[in-house]
Chains A and B, each alone.
Chain A
Amino acid sequence: MENEKVFIDSLLNPSTQQAAFKTLVQLYQKQLYHHVRNIVLNHDDADDVLQNTFIKVFRNLDKFKGESKLFSWIYRIATNEALTFVQQRAKKNQVSSEEYVQQKIEQLRADVYFDGDAIQLKLQKAIALLPEKQQLVFKMRYFEEIKYEELSVLLTTSVGALKASYHLATKKIEEYLKEN
């Protein structure tokens, strides 16, 4: 975003805050929605998490120190909200996060807001079998096409570690798709 500092000032100024925040929502809602949806899988859950993300952003605007880009900061909030959502639901169901995601994948076939074919469903199943961090790396790289350098900032992980994680993930997915 051009002139991010000016935009941040307008977000912090009470007289311009509402209009600036509307702009923020319009700019980032779609990208954030798809990111969150990739993690929580279900539309209604994604809607809840997205709402909570923006509310959290709004409440904590004054705490944003400008050490990273505004969008990176918002993206991290969205990621944490989505992961926490999954963890809480998993805990409520007395299963691990991975097991919870696998259960959600099984429900996708009947989900009105999933129109994927057999291959797409199989890919989701393959991803759900990965460890949580690997799932996140794979989804953000493969579906959202985020570059490693940006991924490194968002996940506070080195580029090398991310590349290794993605490589392992792809191997497992290819193996699963081959066998199934």
Chain B
Amino acid sequence: MNSFHVNTSPKIKSGFKVPEGYFESFESKLFEELQLEKEPKVISLLSRKAKWYWMAAAAIIFAVSLPIHNYFNSASLGKPTASELEYYFNVHPAFTTEDIISQLTETEIQTLKIDSELKTENIENYLLKTESIEYYLLD
């Protein structure tokens, strides 16, 4: 093209074509889009992505709760054993025998009396089994 001058030569058009009916339908498409904008977005809890999130959350909760549950179950929060109690009362002399007895019921005292009574037969059997019985007899 030898003598084309932008300002003086006949105008060259852009060459762009518009699809037929484009402008007639543009307005309705635009308003549809604006209408969608007005409606609040609904996020489905059951969407595929959301399902994965819920599953992951459940797995995490389960994984964390199991050790916590085991910890609390295995912890010695139950009743102390007899030896533990005995030890405790030995190191805390503030508790007298009377203090302990005052906490027992009549039935519990009677049971203790029976249990603590040494039968003669049992004493004899024990002494016969003991090797150093002569030591005790001579003393």
Contacts and interface: CB of A to CB of B under 8 A. Distances in A.
Interface of A: 22, 25-26, 29-30, 33-34, 37-38, 41, 43, 47, 50-51, 54-55, 58, 108, 112-117, 119-124, 142-143, 170, 173-174, 177-178, 180
B6 A142 contact: yes
A29 B7 CA distance: 28
Contacts of B4: 174, 177-178
B6 A174 contact: yes
Nearest to A59: B37
Contacts of B30: 25, 51, 54-55
A117 B15 CA distance: 7
Given A177-B4, A178-B1, A114 B15 contact: yes
Contacts of A123: 12
Interface of B: 1-2, 4-7, 11-19, 22-23, 26-27, 29-31, 33-34, 37
A33 B17 contact: no
Contacts of A38: 14, 16
Contact of B15 (A22, A120, A142, A178): A120
A29 B33 contact: no
B26 A29 contact: yes
B6 A170 contact: yes
B22 to A, nearest CB: 8
B9 to A, nearest CB: 9
Given A29-B27, A51-B29, A116 B18 contact: no
Given A38-B16, A177-B1, 11 more contacts: A29-B23, A30-B23, A114-B15, A115-B15, A115-B17, A116-B16, A122-B1, A124-B15, A173-B6, A174-B4, A178-B4
Contacts of B7: 170
B57 to A, nearest CB: 34
Given A174-B6, A178-B1, A116 B23 contact: no
A146 to B, nearest CB: 14
Contact of A116 (B5, B13, B22, B31): B13
Nearest to B2: A178
B1 A180 contact: yes
18 contacts: A22-B27, A25-B30, A29-B26, A30-B23, A33-B18, A34-B16, A37-B14, A43-B16, A43-B17, A43-B18, A47-B22, A112-B17, A117-B15, A142-B6, A143-B14, A170-B7, A177-B4, A180-B1
